[in-house]
Structure 1
Amino acid sequence: MVRAEHLRDEQRLHRIEAVTDATLSRLDVADLFDEMLDRVRDLLQVDTAAILLLDVRAQQLVATAAKGLEEEVRQRFRVSVGRGFAGRIAQTRQPVIIEQVTPDKVVNPILLDTGVRSLLGVPIIARGDLVGVLHVGTLTPRRFTPDDVRLLELVADRLSLASRARANTLDQAAALALQRSLIPTELPEVPGIEMAARYVPGHASGVGGDWYDVFTLPSGWTGVVVGDVSGHGLQSAVVMGRVRSALRAYALVCDDPAEALTLLDRKVVHFEAGSLTTALYAMISPDGTTVRVALAGHPRPVLAVPGQSNDLLPARVDPPLGTGRRPPERHATTVDFPPGAVLVSYTDGLVERRGEVLDVGIARLKAAVPLAPVEAVCATVMAMLDTEHPVDDIALLAIRRLPD
């Protein structure tokens, strides 16, 4: 008898595992939740099953999927952590059984209206963080057993894995879409100037906080930006998008790159707390003969001039954006940009190597920049990378003043 019960339990567990493993690869979150709830009702022989996910900011559980309690989802029922049946599960992070449902034990009127008599619920936890609550119920009195609890906890574990995997996928897809919308697919045409760029993600998600930007200003000057928001993934891409947009706005009202970065620093400190950002903002004169540049913690670009040795642009590097300290004085440097000259701006992923002093990577870049059309410049510079998979994001922007 004991062996028969053990085999039956094992069969139930294997069925749940098989269902979840199969659906992880082929179902979206909504379909996966529906599939799991159907299976749970069948395996536990219950009448209702529901998933409530945690709204972290509000600290409320939100009805997200349900079988037998569909009205709960239609009304987007919410309950605060600590209140009622589901709220108590979320607060204690322990299974809760109610053998006899009464108004003083639940706060969701839909449970009472549906006629649920007994409830079992467990927390959904991923990597130590509460994700939500999974609960089942019956329309007749039921004594849930430790095996029922164990089975529901297994389903909750599988749901947490699926939720995390799908959330990561959605985050990555959203970040990729956002970043692709912010990285220019084409650079503007500027008389007497040619430009080319490269972007290479260094993170498994394919998304980071590096960016480049080029835009023409009403004054006739051309704005050039290369920047790097710390971190990877969707959050960095979102911050990058906001910083990029803000700098474009400040560029419209500032004739001095240092002033634009000063305003941007105030914005980052106030609205993007904790997001350290480096940036280069340069302005190319309408005739292309001069470049004014300001640097906020960003690597100095390489300037290649015909008849001279390649060197770093002689510009001062001021503190990064968002340090939170007293606003620093920022400086702009104006340099000549003679015919045939090439200016190469980049993020630090291009020159940094593990176990190597940064100066070595910068010297390697200086030596690599040719006096050539910008596509050849980018190809030559990218060829100096010793790996197809850099450990950090790389943004590269080459600008050349055409020979007379």
Structure 2
Amino acid sequence: MVALLTPDLAYADVNEEYVRLSGRTREQLVGRYLFDVFPDNPDDPTATGARNLEASLRRVLTTGERDTMALQRYDVESVDRPGEWEERYWSPVNAPVVGSDGRVELLVHRVEEVTELMRARGGPEGSRARVLEAELYTRARELQEVNDRLREAHAREREVALALQEAMLPAPDPVGHHCAAVRYRPAVGALNVCGDWYDLVDLPGDRIGVAVGDVVGHGLRAACVMGLLRSALSAASRVADGPAQALEVLGLYARSIEGAENTTAVETCVDWDTHTLTYSSAGHLPPALLRVDGTVEFLDRATDPPLGARPEHVPRPQSSAAFAEGDTLVLYTDGLIERRREDIDVGLGRLADALTRHRAADPERLADALLLELLPAGGATDDTALVILRL
């Protein structure tokens, strides 16, 4: 038996087996609140099936994680004989369907019907039925306990990963007299954190290097890989002859680190003496240059595959763009703009529009405005790093 439920716990759809075993028609199910159709037996003060099921569904809505319930007795009122209740036994599993904004859009409510097995307890096969009942109940409890332990372990790993992320991504040192803002927002969910980084590096002369990157994967392992790559790129930027060479060095280093393959990164060198931006991208989203007049230019003329994506080393491309005093440079990771089942140009368009509307804001207020407008209300399913530099 399978039903799709809305977050309000109304039936969105049911399969034929659900219709058959529940004794209801589709018209009696679809569109109606679950517990209006199947309330607890009011004549039985010990009935808890509805309360237990609702608690499980609420957990799934809150955590976004699958929930396996123990075997439930759930009396069902007869359709033909109102007021008469039939003893039923169901073993439910509830799972989320997550939308592009990271929120639970639907609930999959799957039920194993074991009523006939329980009824057999009183017949010739009663002994065997009781053994199977005990095994079924024990298995359900074991699954519930495993689910609880995994949830706790995931929560602990998230806390450790976030602490590691905070230690690796501190507030940047002042970059001369230039005004910069940085932000990091972890993804929603137990493990979807810690693949993104940012960095600002003082370079000789009136220059700085600005970078962001995104490691494939999540959790503690991604956080550790992120720390290694961030440190390596920071060091390479200080000695390399431009962003392209810095990314070439990083790409060679990434080949020796398990889990670093297909990391994306972009490095931009800002030279205030020549009012020039020099940049190179390893498969990353293009930096945005917000002009004083409100127009937005995406720096996308030097994009190459991610780190380690090519079997052999080749030089990376590099390009330059002029900037004027008062322009704003924005580097970001995909959590800010990418949404499932949506073309990337739509997200880039949202970013450009927000930058134009908030062009008068200083970097700190601009960073807050972008996160508020562009991140889903329930939190993104990927973490987000953001660097904003007033030129």
TM-score, structure 1 normalization:
0.56
Aligned to 1:202: 187
CA displacement, residues 294-346 of structure 1 (integer Å, 9 cap, x when unaligned): 11001111111123621212532111112152223302222222111011111
Aligned to 2:359: 371
Query: In the alignment, is the contact (CA less than 8 A) between 1:266 and 1:322 conserved in 2?
Result: yes
SS at 1:395 equivalent: strand
Query: In the alignment, is the contact (CA less than 8 A) between 2:206 and 2:271 conserved in 1?
Result: yes
Change (3 A) 1:312 1:260: same
Query: In the alignment, is the contact (CA less than 8 A) between 1:202 and 1:391 conserved in 2?
Result: yes
CA distance in 1, matches of 2:300, 2:261: 27
CA distance in 2, matches of 1:264, 1:282: 14
CA distance in 2, matches of 1:217, 1:311: 25
> Does the alignment pair 1:322 with 2:308?
yes
CA displacement, residues 1-31 of structure 1 (integer Å, 9 cap, x when unaligned): xxxxxxxxxxxxxxxxxxxxxxxxxxxxxxx
Aligned to 1:88: none
SS at 2:179 equivalent: strand
Q: 1:264 aligns with which of 235, 250, 255?
A: 250
SS at 1:355 equivalent: coil
Q: Which runs of 5+ in 1 are unaligned?
A: 1-149
Letter in 2 for 1:306: V
CA distance in 1, matches of 2:313, 2:365: 40
CA distance in 1, matches of 2:147, 2:285: 41
CA distance in 1, matches of 2:293, 2:146: 63
* Paired positions, count: 252
More divergent stretch after superposition (294-303 vs 250-259):
250-259
Aligned to 2:175: 190
Aligned to 1:382: 371
CA distance in 1, matches of 2:210, 2:315: 21
Deviation at 1:242, TM superposition (A): 0.9
1:1-400 correspondence runs (5 A)? 164=150, 167-184=153-170, 186-205=171-190, 207-218=193-204, 221-273=207-259, 275-285=261-271, 287=273, 289-307=275-293, 309-369=295-355, 370-372=358-360, 373-385=362-374, 387-388=376-377, 389-400=379-390
Query: In the alignment, is the contact (CA less than 8 A) between 1:302 and 1:345 conserved in 2?
Result: yes
Change (3 A) 1:324 1:314: closer
Deviation at 1:396, TM superposition (A): 1.2
| Structure number with bigger Rg | 1
Letter in 2 for 1:257: P
Aligned to 2:69: none
Letter in 2 for 1:204: G
CA distance in 2, matches of 1:263, 1:271: 13
Q: CA RMSD of the aligned region, Å?
A: 2.9
Q: Which runs of 5+ in 2 are unaligned?
A: 1-134
CA distance in 2, matches of 1:227, 1:337: 23
SS at 1:353 equivalent: coil
SS at 2:215 equivalent: strand
Query: In the alignment, is the contact (CA less than 8 A) between 2:270 and 2:276 conserved in 1?
Result: yes
Query: In the alignment, is the contact (CA less than 8 A) between 2:269 and 2:277 conserved in 1?
Result: yes
Letter in 1 for 2:157: D
- Comparing both chains, which one has the higher relative contact order based on Cα–Cα distances under 8 Å and sequence gaps of 6 or more? 2
CA displacement, residues 105-160 of structure 1 (integer Å, 9 cap, x when unaligned): xxxxxxxxxxxxxxxxxxxxxxxxxxxxxxxxxxxxxxxxxxxxx9x999998996
